[in-house]
Structure 1
Amino acid sequence: MDFDLSEEQRLLKESVEGLLKGSYDFDSRKKYAKEKGGWSRAVWGKFAEQGLLGLPFSEEDGGFGAGAVETMIVMEALGHSLVLEPYLPTVVIGGGFLRRAGSAAQKAAHLPGIIDGSKTFAFAQLEKNSRWDLGDVSTTAKKSGDGWVIDGEKFVVLNGEAADTLIVTARTKGGQRDRTGVGVFLVPADAKGITRKGYPTQDGLHAADITFTGVQVGADAAIGDPENALELIEAVVDDARTALCAEAVGLMDESLTTTVEYIKTRKQFGVPIGSFQVLQHRAADMFVATEQARSMAMFATMAAEFDDAKERAGAIAAAKVQIGKSGKFVGQQSIQLHGGIGMTMEAKIGHYFKRLTMIEQTFGDTDHHLARVSAGGGLI
């Protein structure tokens, strides 16, 4: 099997890395974090100009018809530079729902705004005590005339503070944990009855807790079947998990590079600490863990396009397990080899470990996905 990138994919990789290298050093990131919503509109505009926001969409919808490999390339580059901008909630998740199940009218209304950078999205899914069960939904959407009325609460909604449009999971019928009776709805973030409480997260991103009180939306707000959308949700979340795996590889790769550079220059007893064999062994172990994560991220990328939902879910769960284990190891070793300075806000290495930690917890932690792999009988 050929794992080499095509010429177009190599050009994309060079293009993204070149853009970020010129505009996204650690000091610039600090400035972007202070802007409204915790990210830079100017950088987002550059993403749009370079076509990154339109990559996964079909040419008929104004995009470039790219696939999971191109998303992997972009997300790994975003991880390398510790990017704050809402590519995951907007392009991967928001765009994923529209791409997979949006009507022609929904695509026409929303995709141009995503592609030109004028519109961002947020996925309002997590609820109190729901943990990582995508079918555990107590927020309700009740029929009202030709439309729906949404009531409930969602928590830790990434980009929920700044998003123009919310994608909300809500129960249209049945019990709280039934697999049927779950719908997905497009809701304007400024709709009457919505209350948003924004805050920064541990990794420097921004999220919001959102309350829906009698929020009215039209019949055209439902994406796909409003009574049987759980399979759609699972497919899009698997896309998000795959993208997070790629981002984590970028984070680990940069953590390893930064740490090796540090131990080559940090001196103890008059010599660089990188000359100590035990630290060389630690760096080698970090490299192995990173490459294991890279292999599984590539596997998840291939699996994202599997037709069999069970095979896709099992492969991506296995990748998330390896990413969680490798991310924890590489992050911990990076901090250890930096010593006390690695714990300070001024050193970027700690921020990389924070983001790796948050990725491990997003859409299921290592133990959760290990249980999924085990329940599915493993990968073989």
Structure 2
Amino acid sequence: MAMDLSDEQRAFTAALAEFARRAAGTREQRGPSPHNQDLYQRMADLGWLGVAIPEEHGGAGGGMVDMCLFLEQLGHGMIPAGGFATSAIVAGAVERFGTDAQKKTVLGGTAGGRVYSIAMSEPGAGSDVAALSCRATAAPDGGYVVEGQKTWCSNAHIADAILLVARTGGSPGDHDGLTMFLVPAGAQGLRVSGIDTMGGREVNDLYFTGCRLPADAVVGQAGAGWKQLMAGLNLERLILAALMLGTARRAFDDTLAYIRERKQFGRPIGSFQVMRHRIADLATEIECCRLLVYDTAEKVDRDPGRVLPRESSMVKLKTTEVARETALAGMQMMGGYGYATEYDMEKHVRATLISTVYGGTSEIQRDIIGKTYGL
């Protein structure tokens, strides 16, 4: 670990690990969906979903290190809490820019087991956020009317509300003129349509047709959506990195257990040098990721208002790519069993492959890192 944990933090991670073992230790317990609301609500009742929510909104008041500890255990324990990452990101945006009423709803809702989603990408705009064209037009009553389509919206089908980034001014290509809105999932004029993926039902298309929003649906300042998005980079990328750190550790542990037991040519396959060296390389890479995750999290806790574009991109890039390589190596070392649905390795592969795409692709992260060096 990059830092010394307090007794409270050690007890917290131990409790999470035990919960994962008892409540989510089998496929039957976890269920087929990436998000099991019954298990999710049990964690909410234990106070865990509010790990980084301020106490006045029903949370524990923890920092980014506490959040990463929680996410790492979610990934390692394979706890089907797929709705947490997007909920935490939305809660972070609302905490920074929302009204008191919005904070009460979203922060309290996150701590209480509600799920929230984000609608940013569009069919013609993914990595290029400035190209967004979904438009919210000001209405005579002070509200807005939204027209357009969003895509790849994680958890929109199970969300209570959706954080929409839409254009209220300018034209596609402008960073100015973007605005955040909090849209109830059941809003008239909004249609949610699932997208089939390797991971099942996780993401959705959203279609806005004459969707009317009141003036108080705006989160923060109208037209300042781009600056508000940039302020959330630390949180978003650390969330994804910590989750994949846990998944990488789990893929590694599953591989190690297998090669210790599996015998070929009269001895465990883990005793062959080629396997030992591969395990050594993976273990070293995972430890590097863990140090990077918690070092960055500590920096955020020391100065929560400081945006860390280089560090947050580095941690997202490194951890997701190591997680992917760990899962693929695990599948290779397990042979046919790594491909079979009887084992969890194929799930690790699916989860880690997409992690290098969502939240900013590896290519985008490398470009951002390069720019921080003046290139």
Query: Is the pair's TM-score, using the shorter chain for normalization, greater than 0.5?
Result: yes
The letter for the 2-side match of 1:322 is K
Q: Distance in 1 between matches of 2:193 and 2:96?
A: 30
User: Where does residue 84 of structure 2 map in the other structure?
Assistant: 87
Which of the residues 104, 116, 119 maps onto 1:121? 116
Say yes or no: does 1:180 pair with 2:182. no
Q: Which residue of 1 aligns with 2:219?
A: 223
Shift of 1:309: 5.0
Written as runs of structure 1 = structure 2, the 5 A alignment for 1:287-302 is 287-302=283-298
The 1:157/1:93 distance shift into structure 2, 3 A limit, reads same
Is 1:58 aligned to 2:19, yes or no? no
Structure 1 unmatched ranges of 5 or more: none
* TM-score normalised per structure 1: 0.92
Gaps of 5+ in 2: none
Cα distance in 2 between the residues matched to 1:169 and 1:99: 16
1: CA distance, partners of 2:228 / 2:25: 37
AA in 1 matched with 2:6: S
CA RMSD in angstroms comes to 2.0
Matches within 5 A, 1:97-108: 97-108=93-104
Structure 1: distance between partners of 2:196 and 2:233:
23
- How many residues end up aligned between the 2 structures? 372
Distance in 1, Cα, partners of 2:272 & 2:366:
36
Match of 1:352 in 2: 348
* 2:133 alignment partner, one of 120, 123, 138: 138
TM-score of the two chains, using structure 2 as the length reference: 0.94
Could you tell which deviates more after superposition, 202-211 or 181-190? 202-211
**Displacement of 1:296 after TM fit?**
1.7
What CA deviation, in whole Å up to 9, does each residue of 1:267-295 have, x standing for no partner? Answer: 11121111111111111111011111112
Is the partner of 1:46 in helix, strand or coil?
helix
CA distance in 1, matches of 2:271, 2:109: 53
Show CA shifts across 1:3-46 (max 9, x none).
Answer: 1111221121112222111111241355252xxxx522210111
1:152-163 alignment to 2 at 5 Å? 152-163=148-159
Which SS does the other structure have where 2:166 is aligned? strand
Which position in structure 2 is the counterpart of 1:192?
188
**Pair 1:200–1:5, CA change in 2 (3 A):** farther
- Aligned runs of 1:1-380 on 2, under 5 Å? 3-28=3-28, 31-33=31-33, 38-85=34-81, 86-90=83-87, 92-117=88-113, 119-144=114-139, 145-204=141-200, 206-305=202-301, 306=303, 312-377=308-373
Residue-by-residue CA offset, 1:39-83 (whole Å, 9 max, x unaligned) = 222101111111112222212222221110111011001111233
- Offset at 1:214? 0.9
| C-alpha distance in 2 between matches for 1:129 and 1:48 | 37
> Shift of residue 108 of structure 1?
2.3
CA 325–44 in structure 1, closer or farther in 2 if over 3 Å, else same: closer
Q: Distance in 2 between matches of 1:135 and 1:234?
A: 12
Counterpart code for 2:325: F
What's the secondary structure of 2:205's corresponding residue? strand
